[in-house]
């Protein structure tokens, strides 16, 4: 029960870290309260967003802010009772979202994003998980020419600045690519360098199996029992280690606060539901209905409908009003049938106000490491973060400059 390193958190980030450390000769324990891939990593749209060099910003347009303030938008909702706690965080988020600041953030963030597909592919090959992967990209679709033209300008900028390729699907090309889509979606951009998976939880499970084949050990345990020295209580007993990595996503502050850190981590909540496709209907890749704010994506379980953002306290009860609001639009867009889940799934995206993850050594503990705050790109950046943390922990030259992601920036 004595290890070189303990990784707290069995999502895509923690599991990827555990693999890379185990590969480098460390004896690694991976600890979570559930089997790998059954919390935040379970519920996303399954997209590895190679194009996502600009992390999702807070709107700066006053008309859009006013629309969200009404709390009737389909893509963003908020809990009024949570606002006193969230407003300071949201102000900092708005501050960092100014165009010049956002561009500077993107320059640093792109150094992670550029390796997202290649690092996943390497682990997918090693884990034998190729059957879960689709390589044709994903579709950002629009109902109006105005919204489409604005997105085209953005995509062209990404292409010029960062070499992100895209295809334009107009004049019937969208329906040719996805024949089962209805006529409401008229224009689209396909980001062809991205990839997607048909079972995000299954992918994490495959990575966890690879970790165990490499000699690593997974434990069911409670990360909040972490004590200095590094000791963690699990169902199998107390695990000790020389180093510890906190990769707990939205629950990271439960541990870091006890250790004396005050990091600005909040959550964007979101929901999903699976549906049967009606006879003869097919969906080949994820499709974002951009002006309404939901994604439909083909999964092993069925067609997954994922919502936009719900701003609320992390542990507040489910309020899936967004799912109810967008489902009628999704039914017009694609012929979905009955619901396949007993209840909507609620997930929590861990977010920092500058939209970048915290990756690196803890400032006040020599053998404590942080890897969380990946917001909408946890699946995208899991393997990249895993390699970067492992290189830092073992004294290798890091393949990405870790400086922009250090905890000290706060």
Domain holding 373: CATH number?
3.50.50.60
Burial 206-217 (b: 16+ CB within 10 A, else e): bbbbbbeeeebb
pTM: 0.97
Find the length of the chain. 410
Q: Would you place residue 170 in the very low, low, confident or very high pLDDT band (cuts 50, 70, 90)?
A: confident
Region at 46 (left for phi over 0; alpha for psi -120 to 50; beta for the rest)? left
Q: Would you place residue 198 in the very low, low, confident or very high pLDDT band (cuts 50, 70, 90)?
A: very high
Burial of 84 (0-12, 13-18, 19+ CB in 10 A): exposed
Q: Which of 381, 377, 306, 391 is nearest to 344 (CA)?
A: 306
Helices marked H in 114-196:
116-127, 145-162, 173-177
Position 348 pLDDT exceeds 90:
yes
The span from the CA of 15 to the CA of 32, in Å, is: 10
Task: Tell whether 61 is covered by a domain.
Answer: no
Instruction: Give residue for tokens 């965080």.
Output: 89
Report the SS3 class of residue 336. strand
Task: Tell whether 168 is covered by a domain.
Answer: no
Task: Tell whether 101 is covered by a domain.
Answer: no
Structural domain span for residue 357: 2-44+201-264+353-409
Task: Tell whether 70 is covered by a domain.
Answer: no
Please tell me the total count of domains within the chain. 1
Task: Tell whether 399 is covered by a domain.
Answer: yes
Q: Which residues pair with 219 in a beta bridge?
A: 31
Task: Tell whether 306 is covered by a domain.
Answer: no
Task: Tell whether 183 is covered by a domain.
Answer: no
Residues 181, 331 contacting (CB under 8 angstroms): no
Position 171 pLDDT exceeds 90:
no
Instruction: Give residue for tokens 């979905």.
Output: 336
Task: Tell whether 19 is covered by a domain.
Answer: yes
Mind listing the pLDDT tens digit for each residue in 281-328?
Answer: 999 999 999 999 999 999 999 999 999 999 999 999 999 999 999 999
Residue 105's pLDDT is: 98
Q: Which of 297, 301, 404, 407 is nearest to 363 (CA)?
A: 407
User: Could you tell me how far CA 158 lies from the centroid of its own chain?
Assistant: 20
Mean pLDDT of the chain, nearest integer: 97
Handedness of CA 95, 97, 101, 104 (dihedral sign): positive
Q: Which residues pair with 47 in a beta bridge?
A: 196
Residue 341's pLDDT is: 97
């Amino acid at each position: 029960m004595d290890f070189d390193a303990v990784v707290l958190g069995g999502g895509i980030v923690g599991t990827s870290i555990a693999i890379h450390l185990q590969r480098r000769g460390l004896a690694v324990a991976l600890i979570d309260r559930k089997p790998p891939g059954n919390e935040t990593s379970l519920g996303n749209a399954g997209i590895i967003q190679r194009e996502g060099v600009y992390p999702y910003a807070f709107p700066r347009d006053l008309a859009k802010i006013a629309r969200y303030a009404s709390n009737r938008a389909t893509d963003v909702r908020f809990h009024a009772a949570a606002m006193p706690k969230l407003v300071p965080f949201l102000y900092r988020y708005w501050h960092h979202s100014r165009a010049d600041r956002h561009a500077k953030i993107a320059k640093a963030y792109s150094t992670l994003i550029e390796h997202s597909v290649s690092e996943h592919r390497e682990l997918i090959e090693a884990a034998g998980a190729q059957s879960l992967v689709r390589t044709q990209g994903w579709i950002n679709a629009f109902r109006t020419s105005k919204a489409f033209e604005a997105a085209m300008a953005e995509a062209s900028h990404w292409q010029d600045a960062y070499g992100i390729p895209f295809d334009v699907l107009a004049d019937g090309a969208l329906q040719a690519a996805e024949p089962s889509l209805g006529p409401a979606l008229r224009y689209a951009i396909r980001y062809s360098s991205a990839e997607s998976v048909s079972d995000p939880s299954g992918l994490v499970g495959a990575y966890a199996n690879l970790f165990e084949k490499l000699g690593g050990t997974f434990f069911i345990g409670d990360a909040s029992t972490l004590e200095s020295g590094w000791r963690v209580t699990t169902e199998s007993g107390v695990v000790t280690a020389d180093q510890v990595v906190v990769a707990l996503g939205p629950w990271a502050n439960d541990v870091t606060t006890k250790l004396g850190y005050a990091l600005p981590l909040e959550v964007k909540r979101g929901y999903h539901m699976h549906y049967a496709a009606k006879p003869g209907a097919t969906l080949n890749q994820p499709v974002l209905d951009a002006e309404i704010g939901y994604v439909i994506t083909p999964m092993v379980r069925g067609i997954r409908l994922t919502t936009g953002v719900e701003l609320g306290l992390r542990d507040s009860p489910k309020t899936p009003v967004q799912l109810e609001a967008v489902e009628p639009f999704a039914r017009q867009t694609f012929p979905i049938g009955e619901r396949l889940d007993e209840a909507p799934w609620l997930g929590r995206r861990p977010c920092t106000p500058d939209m970048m993850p915290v990756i690196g050594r803890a400032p006040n503990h020599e053998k404590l490491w942080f890897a969380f705050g990946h917001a909408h790109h946890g699946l995208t950046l899991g393997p990249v973060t895993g390699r970067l943390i492992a290189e830092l922990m073992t004294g290798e030259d890091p393949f990405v400059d870790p400086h922009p992601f250090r905890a000290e920036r706060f």
